Amino acid sequence: MAAVIRPQEPNRTRFIWRDPQRGRFLVHRSAYANAAVFEEEKRRILRRSWVVLGHDCEIPNKGDFIVRPVLDRELIFNRDVEGRVHAFFNTCRHRGAAVCREPRGNHKRFVCPYHGWAYRSSGELVNQGATEGYDARFNEDGFYNLGSVPRLEQRAGFWFVSFDASVPKLDDYLEGAGPMLDEIAAHSAAGLRVVRGCHEYEIKANYKLICENSYDGYHLNITHASYVDYMRSMVSGLGKIDIRGCARSFGGGHACFEVRIPTGRPVAQWLPVWGEEARVQIEAKRAELEARLGPEKAERIANVNRNMVLFPNSIINDQQTILLRTVTPMAHNRMVIRAWSFGPADESPVLRRIRNECTLSFLGPGGFATPDDVEMLELCQRGFEAGDVEWNDFSKGYHAGERTLRDENPRFDNELQMRAYWSRWDELMSAPE
């Protein structure tokens, strides 16, 4: 399959074919199935974008650290003894050994296990594990301090990194997605708390497929039919279920779908199966939201589920829980997913138990959603590589006036959000280097 598609008419770009007269929006499958395209997009897009690293609450104490892969690098995400947050490359400046072997912990210093080079939690080299042989001015200019990621910024407690020093400021990069992060952070005045534990799994498919899947409302009733049946039993007694939602594009390739569906949210939508104690606590939480944020914002937080993709590969699901998914592309046809759950720091044990049960039932390793989705994405990759069919279709809800910049589509199961993603991806892949 060709790596480069040459425009043949005004509606065709390098990877996209728009036909508004027929209501078609097509993406060339080489974007998923060609190894050369993957190597190019690593250079043009992935290493030049902001990517989620983690959240404030994962390193709450001075000296806390987490070792975490981001794209093709391994980073130390830490809070130093002065309380400042850093992202260092996990490699000693001497001979390159990984400085941190533990996945997480609390250290005032990082000491390389090979020759004993020691670094403060703020990255400065303290000593070289030897008292002789080095000039007094050896590290006078800081040359041997731990290497820092070129850019590190946060929004609403979510920390992002970029390997490109010239990337725009994070707030500018996020465009309309920034306020969505603010809304998620507003779930609690006490802030968020991570639910310990990580769900890590591999999918033999292109990483962009999990981005598409994460905010694809179209496949719900087909792929997850067993979950739909399960939820019908969970909400029995609530009367007619009215599902309403929309697809939203925020600019910059960032997008989401939002849906109002009474599947229950510990913040703050009650289901009868949760019992009376939970009802009292959820009603109190709803009242606190209204007093703090006003009725309109409180209603959105309580009743709107949101699946959001921050271009190019960061995923935040705000539904049964707040789920952060980091996507590590390993090859054009392989990725690793790591997922963490978050909830209000002041959440009661009852509501935290409900949050965990809801998360595991749908998004967890053996939940209704994840195994189904993994199978579907691997089937897609298998189909891409099984023949010479060139185009994937993203036409649902497409119309001639759609700009995919800051648009909204009145149906959450339409595909505006994916067209927004692909329009930005194609723009960056087609620009002069």
pLDDT score at 238: 58
Q: Is residue 397 part of a domain?
A: yes
Least confident of 197-201, 205-209, 299-303, 358-362: 358-362
pLDDT score at 301: 94
Beta-carbon contacts of 27 under 8 Å, excluding residues fewer than 6 positions away, are 15, 16, 391, 392, 394, 422, 426
In 3D space, the residue among 214, 202, 186 whose CA is nearest the CA of residue 342 turns out to be 186
CATH of the domain at 239: 3.90.380.10
In this structure, are 255 and 126 located in the same domain? no
Q: Is residue 377 part of a domain?
A: yes
In this structure, are 293 and 387 located in the same domain? yes
Domain that holds residue 104: 60-152
Q: Is residue 43 part of a domain?
A: no
Q: Is residue 139 part of a domain?
A: yes
What is the tens place of the pLDDT at every residue in 114-136?
999 999 999 999 999 887 899 98
In this structure, are 129 and 258 located in the same domain? no
Q: Are 109 and 126 in contact (CB under 8 A)?
A: yes
In this structure, are 318 and 239 located in the same domain? yes
Q: Phi and psi (nearest 5°) for 17?
A: -125, 110
Q: Is residue 219 part of a domain?
A: yes
pLDDT score at 304: 93
Total structural domains within the chain: 2
pTM: predicted TM-score of the whole model, two decimal places: 0.93
Q: Is residue 2 part of a domain?
A: no
Q: How far apart are CA 170 and CA 150, in angstroms?
A: 13
Two tokens, residue 82: 């002065």
Q: How far apart are CA 42 and CA 38, in angstroms?
A: 6
3-state secondary structure of 302: helix
In this structure, are 139 and 260 located in the same domain? no
CATH of the domain at 125: 2.102.10.10
Q: pLDDT band for position 410 (50/70/90)?
A: confident
Beta-carbon contacts of 66 under 8 Å, excluding residues fewer than 6 positions away, are 54, 58, 59, 76, 77, 78, 103, 104
Average pLDDT, the chain: 92
What is the tens place of the pLDDT at every residue in 164-192?
999 999 999 999 999 999 999 999 999 99
